[in-house]
Amino acid sequence: MLSLRKIQAAAGLSLTEVPEPDAPGSGEVLVRVAATGICGTDLSVDRWTASYAGFMAQALPVTLGHETAGRIVAVGQGVDPARVGRDIVIDPAVACGRCERCLADDPVGCLDRQAVGLIRDGAFAPYVLAPDTYCYDLPANVPVELGALAEPLSVGAHALAVGGFRPGMRVVVLGPGPIGQGVAALARHLGAAQVAVLGKQDGPRLDVLRGMGFTDCFDMAEPDANRALTLAKGQGFDLAVEAAGVPEVVDQALALLRPQGVLVVAGMPERPASVDILRLVKYRLEIRGASRIPPSAWETVLRALADAPDAFAPLVTHRFPLAQADQAFRLCHGRTPSKVLLLP
């Protein structure tokens, strides 16, 4: 079967033929992939940045792809045979089950995660194996292809939860990429009073949000953006979510908060950030980090998708067959699309 793989500890990916997976082992299921999204993580692995080279090198070669949805077509020992035929999404953060945190019943804190698409073979392929306990049933009214949004949306759901989101809050999202767009869509669905989104030279992505009905979208490269943003922020936002992965954005986000506001950093910058500590102390602001997605975030996302699948569907802007993965990745590296799906 055709598979998109990281073969060597260097920049680049390879489309290559590999054998179909063996029958699922104990506790596993075999999933026929319907769609898998290209993530910023995949782009970093393609470039072979230091943060991924450090832990992935010994796992190579490995098939990438972790934002996926599909149908269970076979089950291993210990898995209910009735699972065959179920449409599911895969939580890729598979815990090792052996480390100190796993033995303390804290798999989210696992010290040696066997992530699908990074350490275990992933879903840029027609079939993927996964532990059944990491497969969540997709609601019946949600198109299976749309299930590929569940993993990136779970990042946004967790960021909102870490920030203490409540209905009626005013939220600003910095970074209109797929994660930031998901945060915005979820915040609105969950009852935010206002959702503003900031980008820089991100016209196509902001246009997607405008097409979804978001009015407070600001491209900070435009001449009047600062004035318009000042009017929109009023006395300051309750919650800011940094989803750009750009260190300079952290301090910008703090300046948009009301006193005692909260900034959640969900992006993964490669460089340290400078922070105005005086502002932080004077206005009693908080900075919180969001990673390691718990099951509760998946529950939030699957409920939201079931409630309003059409509200999230516009986040998918491009679809490519797996055989055109190189073209899809070039597009993603250009930062113009929202979510790009590869379809085996």
CATH number of the domain enclosing 91: 3.90.180.10
E strands, 255-338, are 257-265, 286-289, 316-321
**Per-residue pLDDT of the chain in tens (344 residues, 90 and over written 9):** 999 999 999 999 999 999 999 899 999 999 999 999 999 999 999 999 888 888 898 999 999 999 999 999 999 999 999 999 999 999 999 999 999 999 999 999 999 999 999 999 999 999 999 999 999 999 999 999 999 999 999 999 999 999 999 999 999 999 999 999 999 999 999 999 999 999 999 999 999 999 999 999 999 999 999 999 999 999 999 999 999 999 999 999 999 999 999 999 999 888 899 999 999 999 999 999 999 999 999 999 999 999 999 999 999 999 999 999 999 999 999 989 999 999 99
250 and 170 housed in the same domain: yes
With respect to residue 117, please indicate whether it lies within any of the assigned structural domains.
Answer: yes
Residues 6+ apart with CB under 8 A from 221: 200, 201
**157 and 142 part of one domain:** no
* CB 263 within 8 Å of CB 250: yes
Amino acid present at 312: F
SS (H, E, C) 194-232: EEEEEECCCHHHHHHHHHCCCCEEEECCCCCHHHHHHHH
Query: What is the residue type of 4?
Result: L
CATH of the domain at 181: 3.40.50.720
Give CA separation, 294 vs 162, 180, 269, in Å: 11, 19, 22
User: Is the pTM of the predicted complex or chain greater than 0.85?
Assistant: yes
Q: Are residues 35 and 119 both part of a single domain?
A: yes
Q: Could you tell me if residue 300 is inside a domain?
A: no
Q: Is residue 299 part of a domain?
A: no
| Residues 328, 235 within the same domain | no
Q: Is residue 296 part of a domain?
A: no
- 180 in a domain, yes or no? yes
Residue 198 and residue 96 share a domain: no
Distance CA(22)–CA(2), nearest Å, equals 15
Q: How many domains does the chain have?
A: 2
Range of the domain at 252: 153-289
